[in-house]
Amino acid sequence: MGGHDKLLVQVLRGLSDSNIGFDELCGLLCYLGFDKRVRGSHHVFRKAGVPELINLQRDGAKAKPYQVRQVRNIILQYRLGGSL
């Protein structure tokens, strides 16, 4: 199991939302096929077939917990996790 798959499992479990690295979460979204645009401190992700935009901001080196929950909900809603 690769690094992205391990992070995906960690995000989907939801047991440590406050312990997900910002750069790792951005990398996961790119791995899942999202396009990234950066405007100042806002990292905006979009994907064809997913009408919602994902807007992430740093909280130090970590992603904000509520944004990790938003990412999890979108992954589950659009079944982007593959076979996991």
Domain ranges of the chain: 3-77
Q: What is the pTM of this model?
A: 0.93
Distance CA 23, CA 33 (A): 16
Task: Please give the torsion angle defined by the CA atoms of residues 55, 38, 60 and 56, in that order, rounded to the nearest 10 degrees.
Answer: 10
Give mean pLDDT, residues 55-74.
96
* Whether residue 84 has pLDDT greater than 90: no
CATH of 3-77, one of 3.90.420.10, 3.30.300.30, 3.30.920.30, 3.40.50.1220: 3.30.920.30
What pairs with residue 37 in β-bridges?
Answer: 44
Q: Which residue has the tokens 């499992």?
A: 9
Q: What is the pLDDT of residue 2?
A: 83
Q: What percent of the chain stands above pLDDT 70?
A: 96
pLDDT given for residue 82 in this prediction: 74
Longest CA–CA span in the chain (Å) reads: 35
Q: With contact defined as beta carbons under 8 Å apart, do 2 and 42 qualify?
A: no
For residues 22-27, give the mean pLDDT: 97
Q: Over the chain, what is the mean pLDDT?
A: 94
